[in-house]
Amino acid sequence: MRLRRLSALFLAAALAATSTGAAAEKPAKVAKTGSAAAASPLTADVDAALKRISADSLRGHLSFLSSDLLEGRGTPSRGLDLAAEYIAAQFRRAGLEAVGDDGYFQTANWQFAEHKMDEFALTLGNGKDSVRVAPKHVSFNLGQGMDVAQTGFVKLDFKTEQPLDGHGAATVGGKVVVIDGLPNLKALSQEEALAARKRQRALIAMLAGFKPALILALDRHNGEGDAGGNGRLIDPAIRGAQAQAEVPMLTVHAADAIALLGGADAAGTAGTSVALHLAAPAERAVKLRNVVGVLRGSDPVLKDTYVMVTAHYDHLGMRDGVIYNGANDDGSGTVSVVEIAEALAGLKQRPKRSIVFMTVFGEERGLLGSRYYGRNPIFPIAQTVANVNLEQIGRTDSSEGPQLNNASMTGIDFSDVGATFQRAGKLTGINVYKHAVNSDRYFSQSDNQALADQGVPAHTLCVAFAFPDYHGADDHWQKIDYANMAKVSRMVALGIVMIAQNPVAPKWDASNAHTKPYIEAWRKQHGAAAN
């Protein structure tokens, strides 16, 4: 559905109507933006730009980017490289200015470490019996070789409220630690799985501080591992810090090994033994790329300040020969960035601030591309006034019910970016709301976090936090609601224009307890001018 020029009657109806799905709530109470009392930003020029955002065009882009040809866009992969070239071609077609070190590319020259498993050996014993674990029955992601030979181990039960109760460096340091009772993440809802992963990461982080020799996690739910097949990406600039933070951990999937380890008491037994040999990984050079283009602003001063629109263009790649196409996660956000860029590039009068369009690599491996940009910004962080990140905006079949004409923003009440987008939503028929749980929970789970950590008001906008096929092999382009995605993209485009046109930059809300570290980071970036 194309957006028509709003008459006074249509505008009044749009302000009154909020077509919501099951998860919709009342708009969050957010700080008012500096332009709240200004005239409508929906000028004839902007209206014409929004009309250029087309459901058919979004479908065309996404049917390619999430096709089998790209093999799931894993990081690194040939498919990811093809996706980067395609996005750069669209930025070139739109007439965006190339600002990378190689045209539209910001290049990360990293290393990819892979273990050759022909020498791998993990043997477990209990004094009477021994089990040799095959490579296909382990999973790990280590950047180093290891040799461990110990008698006895420390056993922790993840199902208890305090798995580390009574343990510290004296009981764990230098020892093998076995973690039992881990949940079956595949059987949990997306929200439950996120909470379980967060709790598990917290436990591992605490254990890392006690410097165990090795952590063995027991997976009683999945019989096959990956034999170290995921590899490990290494940024040479922070290799030392990465190695120092690494936790030596293997997950064991073999039933006989789990029976041997899981049957021991909490302190292990005198007769148990763990012997591991893992050769150092082989490394090869890889080239990873963020794709970046800029639409320069029109104001002589404000054109040197920047509003960023981002999405991650990677997904899970291939696993056991199965392609994970990731149409909604996050092909939908990626093609919306492309489509919004092309629409706004056609404005007769550009906004005062410059608008940066960027798609990033490696989100699925730990927000790698956005964090790389955060460490190596093309545009000064102190002059970057906002970031809106797009994630999962194509599927309306949420686990919480249909999400037509709805969009939720993470941390919506953390800054006045939320107020701007709620106003843009009212003008375009999209209810931009705060999800009671997920708006805060997911704030740190996507690519906005790298800029938020440096003080930039940065948020992620999505339509469905949880949906069928999340991280599944059936997240295909045919399941996207393109009419709704086009409407959401128009809202995003208008919100971006409103920020870029406003001489008052967005600010964090100091009255919100969550914003303290971000305000401190903002002050650090802006120095004395912030006092």
Torsion angle, CA of 398/402/408/410, rounded to 10 degrees? -20
What percentage of the chain's residues is helix, strand, coil (to nearest 5)? Answer: 40, 20, 40
CATH number at residue 167: 3.50.30.30
What pLDDT shows up at residue 230? 82
332 shares its domain with 471: yes
What pLDDT shows up at residue 246? 76
Residue 299, domain member (yes or no) = yes
Instruction: Give the residues across from 461 on adjacent strands.
Output: 390, 409
Nearest to 497 by CA among 345, 371, 322: 345
Residue 3, domain member (yes or no) = no
Flag whether pLDDT at 16 surpasses 70: no
Residue 467, domain member (yes or no) = yes
Residue 469, domain member (yes or no) = yes
377 or 208, greater pLDDT: 377
How far, in Å, CA of 220 to CA of 217, rounded? 10
pLDDT digits (tens, 9 = 90+) for 284-315: 999 999 999 999 999 999 999 999 999 999 99
Question: Across the chain, what does the average pLDDT equal?
Answer: 90
Say if CB 330 and CB 461 are below 8 A apart: no
Nearest to 458 by CA among 501, 422, 415: 415
Print the domain residue range for 439.
8-110+285-530
In the three-class reduction of DSSP (H, G, I as helix; E, B as strand; rest coil), residue 166 is classed as coil
82 shares its domain with 128: no
SS3 labels along 200-241? HHHHHHHHHHHCCCEEEEECCCCCCCCCCCCCEEECHHHHHH
457 class by beta-carbon count within 10 Å (0-12 exposed, 13-18 middle, 19+ buried): buried
User: Which pair of tokens denotes residue 339?
Assistant: 């489509």
Query: Where does a domain end: 280, 310, 336?
Result: 280
346 shares its domain with 490: yes
262 shares its domain with 313: no
How far, in Å, CA of 388 to CA of 291, rounded? 16
Average the pLDDT over 386-399 and give the result. Answer: 97
204 shares its domain with 178: yes
What pLDDT shows up at residue 26? 42
How far, in Å, CA of 448 to CA of 455, rounded? 11
Residue 525, domain member (yes or no) = yes
Identity of residue 475: D
Torsion angle, CA of 48/49/54/57, rounded to 10 degrees? 130
What pLDDT shows up at residue 106? 98
pLDDT digits (tens, 9 = 90+) for 456-484: 999 999 999 999 999 999 999 999 999 99
Average the pLDDT over 14-26 and give the result. Answer: 38
Cα 29 from chain centre: 26
323 shares its domain with 385: yes
Query: Where does a domain end: 280, 304, 333?
Result: 280
pLDDT digits (tens, 9 = 90+) for 236-260: 998 877 776 678 899 999 999 999 8
1 or 519, greater pLDDT: 519
- Helix or strand (DSSP H, E) at 317: strand 317-319
CATH number at residue 391: 3.40.630.10
428 shares its domain with 447: yes
Flag whether pLDDT at 447 surpasses 70: yes
Instruction: Give the residues across from 318 on adjacent strands.
Output: 323
Entry pTM: 0.87
Total domains in the fold of the chain: 2
How far, in Å, CA of 434 to CA of 26, rounded? 7
74 shares its domain with 206: no
Q: How confident is the model at residue 193 (pLDDT cuts 50, 70, 90)?
A: confident
Looking at 36-40, 89-93, 197-201, which range is the least confident one?
Answer: 36-40
74 shares its domain with 19: yes
Residue 2, domain member (yes or no) = no
- DSSP string of 484-516, one letter each residue: HHHHHHHHHHHHHHHHHH-SSPP-B-TTSGGGH
Residue 468, domain member (yes or no) = yes
What pLDDT shows up at residue 265? 67
pLDDT digits (tens, 9 = 90+) for 100-122: 999 999 999 999 999 888 889 99
349 shares its domain with 436: yes
How far, in Å, CA of 265 to CA of 48, rounded? 70
What pLDDT shows up at residue 367? 97
Looking at 12-21, 71-80, 142-151, which range is the least confident one?
Answer: 12-21
147 shares its domain with 29: no
What pLDDT shows up at residue 110? 97
How far, in Å, CA of 397 to CA of 426, rounded? 22
**Cβ neighbours of residue 140 closer than 8 Å, sequence gap 6 or more:** 228, 249, 250, 251
408 shares its domain with 510: yes
What pLDDT shows up at residue 160? 93
Q: How confident is the model at residue 394 (pLDDT cuts 50, 70, 90)?
A: very high
Alpha-helical (H) ranges within 173-189 are: none
Where is mean pLDDT largest: 24-38, 256-270, 365-379?
365-379
Largest CA distance in the chain: 84
pLDDT digits (tens, 9 = 90+) for 479-499: 999 999 999 999 999 999 999
What pLDDT shows up at residue 266? 60
Residue 503, domain member (yes or no) = yes
Cis status, amide bond into 330, omega within 30 of 0? yes
Q: How confident is the model at residue 275 (pLDDT cuts 50, 70, 90)?
A: very high
In the three-class reduction of DSSP (H, G, I as helix; E, B as strand; rest coil), residue 170 is classed as helix
Sheet holding 273-278, edge to edge: 130-133, 121-125, 273-278, 146-151
What pLDDT shows up at residue 5? 34
What pLDDT shows up at residue 368? 97
Beta pairing class for 249-252 and 317-319: unpaired
How far, in Å, CA of 384 to CA of 451, rounded? 9
pLDDT digits (tens, 9 = 90+) for 22-49: 344 444 444 444 444 457 899 999 999 9
Cis status, amide bond into 76, omega within 30 of 0? yes
Average the pLDDT over 318-329 and give the result. Answer: 95
Nearest to 81 by CA among 69, 63, 99: 69
Query: Where does a domain end: 236, 260, 280?
Result: 280
Q: How confident is the model at residue 126 (pLDDT cuts 50, 70, 90)?
A: confident
Say if CB 101 and CB 372 are below 8 A apart: no
What pLDDT shows up at residue 226? 86
What pLDDT shows up at residue 270? 63
